Amino acid sequence: MSLLALTGMFIFGGKKKRKPWREIRKELAKKYGLPEEVIESIEGAHMPFNGYIEFVRQIDPERNYERVKKPLQLMKLAT
């Protein structure tokens, strides 16, 4: 590690430790009073394109993945 990096770590409080996703989900569930399953669903909906398909699929009464995916792909091609 270079001297500059060590100096920066000393000034700004050291290396940050990353938390595992499971721990972050628990904290968010506790903070907002939601079950962890809901937090996981929101995570899935937050993914760029596939998450949106999953989110819309949950709204569809038949939960048909292909039925939801096809029109969205056509919309993506048209833009």
Contact status, residue 46 vs residue 62, Cβ threshold 8 Å: no
Quote the domain boundaries for residue 32: 1-36
* Number of H-type helices and E-type strands within the chain: 5, 0
pTM comes to 0.40
49-73 pLDDT, tens digit each: 555 656 666 666 676 666 666 655 5
pLDDT band at residue 34 under the 50/70/90 scheme: confident
Residues 55 and 31 in one domain: no
DSSP secondary structure code for residue 79 in this structure: -
> Does residue 53 belong to any structural domain of this protein?
yes
Q: How many domains does the chain have?
A: 2
- Whether 41 is in a domain gets the answer no
In a domain, 15, yes or no: yes
- Res. 25: pLDDT tops 70: yes
- Could you tell me if 51 and 78 lie in one domain? yes
